[in-house]
Amino acid sequence: MESKFHVKSPTMGRQAQKDRTRRDLLTSARLLIDGGGVPTVSDAADHAQVSRTTAYRYFSSQDALLAQAGIEPLIAQLEKAIEATLTIADPVVRVDAAFARVVPLLLVREAQLRMMLKIALDRSQNEDFVNFSLLQSLPGVTVWDTLLEPLHERIGWRRYALLMRALATLLGIQSLIAVKDACDGDEALTVEALRETARALVIGFLATASQS
């Protein structure tokens, strides 16, 4: 007779513990930052009551810890910004509204994003940083699939997937920096340029689909 009780495997238990430890370290780092500090990995470990040796297994440097601690609140903001556009039926208007909300959020965190880019370039084999096409990395949320859902049937699945990748690339930190530099550092022009590009992409994909 099969047991009614589900027994977790040792591997599942270890992963859950790792997730909790990482979360505790990030929570401690954010609390210390909110208190006006610039915590080291050791500071976060002491605050979280985690051994310093263990903490360094998760974050190899202070920069890595600070960048990750700073970016997670941004991810939550991005989720809300995208969700606010989902009542818009027209896909071009919906994407434009999403970019109008999201790009300013990224610009506010530009210094942290630049730090993360530097860490990524310095430690390309490390897991201390997140994907820089930020909307692709939202945990548990198929952001682009949700945002572009009205286009499923209109442009075909292959071109739909290409459009998702193209739009996500526009919001990568590398693209953000390049466009801002091209706009002479003007944030309003940066937002406008990225919005125009996103609109043009969606319109172009729709036009191509209608001709095929």
Q: What is the mean pLDDT of residues 20-40?
A: 89
> What are the extents of the domains in the chain?
7-59, 70-211
Of 99 and 13, more confident: 99
Report the range of poorest mean pLDDT among 22-26, 51-55, 109-113, 132-136.
Answer: 132-136
What mean pLDDT is predicted for residues 18-34?
89
The confidence score (pLDDT) of residue 212 equals 61
Query: What pLDDT does 126 receive?
Result: 52
pLDDT in tens, 95-147: 999 999 999 998 988 877 777 677 666 665 555 444 444 444 443 345 777 88
Mean pLDDT, range 44-51, rounded to an integer: 96
The closest alpha carbon to 113, from 79, 77, 63, belongs to: 63
As a whole number of angstroms, the distance between CA 74 and CA 169 comes to: 18
Q: Is the pTM of this model over 0.75?
A: no
pLDDT of residue 190 exceeding 60, the answer is: yes
Can you give the pLDDT at residue 99? Answer: 95
- 16 by Cβ neighbours in 10 Å (0-12 / 13-18 / 19+) ranks as exposed
Tokens encoding 182: 């091209």
| pLDDT score for 133 | 45
Helix extents (H) in the chain: 10-34, 41-48, 52-58, 62-83, 91-108, 110-122, 143-147, 152-155, 157-170, 173-182, 187-211
Say yes or no to pLDDT of 186 above 90: yes
pLDDT attached to residue 123: 60
Instruction: Identify the pLDDT of residue 56.
Output: 94
CA-wise closest residue to 66 among 106, 38, 45, 43: 38
Confidence bin at 25 (pLDDT 50/70/90): very high
Whether 4 shows a pLDDT value over 60: the answer reads no
